[in-house]
Amino acid sequence: MSTPPKTVLHATDEEAEAIRDAVRAADPASLGPRRARADLSHVAGLVALLHDEAVSGPIYDLPRPITPDSVTRWVAEAQAQALAGEGLLFVTLDEAGEVAGYSKITVWPERASAELAGAMRADAQNQGQGGAGAAHTFGWMFETLGVELIGLTAAIDNVRSAKLIEAAGFRPMGEREVTKPDGTVRRSLYWEMIHEEWRQRHRL
């Protein structure tokens, strides 16, 4: 269960439909090498990845507990969201073809808005890849999906996420409460960026 941004934008029907079309057509290869839309063949790899608390612990919108059943449902829901133009679940594969990371983009087409969550396998963390990959993904979400606003949430103690989010130019907007799939509430840090801020930062 993802939480829409605090700021409420209103897309026209045409804008919302264009975003839905872009989500449906999105090619993971345009985001980076060895990316694929998650499907049921990735469930075992995702379970292995997400079993590690160093990977899944900080993320509020993952199914709990992590089991083959819960991850199968999560992947199937993401496939349905992709067909509706409302979300994407990508895996990153390593050179051996194992699942080494994931990115989940939730889209609210009527609000021209999106959220990103993701994680990398513990052996790939702390090498600067996360910052570079996230910044690239934010640009891709604005430019390829056509959203006008991205909202991001991180656990209060997630120093790495806060650093990479602010390094990418997001504005801190205080704290907010997010609801986990088990119904419990987590206080979180919260940031937003609009497309125009991204364009100015990258002089597009």
Instruction: Report the C-alpha gap between 28 and 190 in whole angstroms.
Output: 26
Residues that contact ligand COA, how many (by CB under 6 A): 21
- Asked whether position 64 contacts ligand COA by CB under 6 A, the answer is no
CB of residue 197 to ligand COA, shortest distance in Å: 19
Q: Which stretch binds ligand COA (CB under 6 A): 87-95, 120-128, 174-182, 192-200?
A: 120-128
Pairing of strands 87-93, 35-37: antiparallel
Q: How distant is the alpha carbon of residue 60 from its chain centre?
A: 12
CB nearer to ligand COA: pick between 21 and 140: 140
Instruction: Report the C-alpha gap between 55 and 49 in whole angstroms.
Output: 7
Q: What are phi and psi of 58, to 5 degrees?
A: -80, 0
Q: Which stretch binds ligand COA (CB under 6 A): 18-26, 37-45, 162-170, 196-204?
A: 162-170
- Asked whether position 175 contacts ligand COA by CB under 6 A, the answer is no
Kindly give, in sequence order, each residue whose CB lies less than 8 Å from that of residue 63, ignoring residues fewer than 6 positions away: 70, 71, 73, 74, 181
By CB under 6 A, name the binding residues for ligand COA: 55, 58-59, 117, 119-120, 125-131, 154, 158-161, 163-164, 167
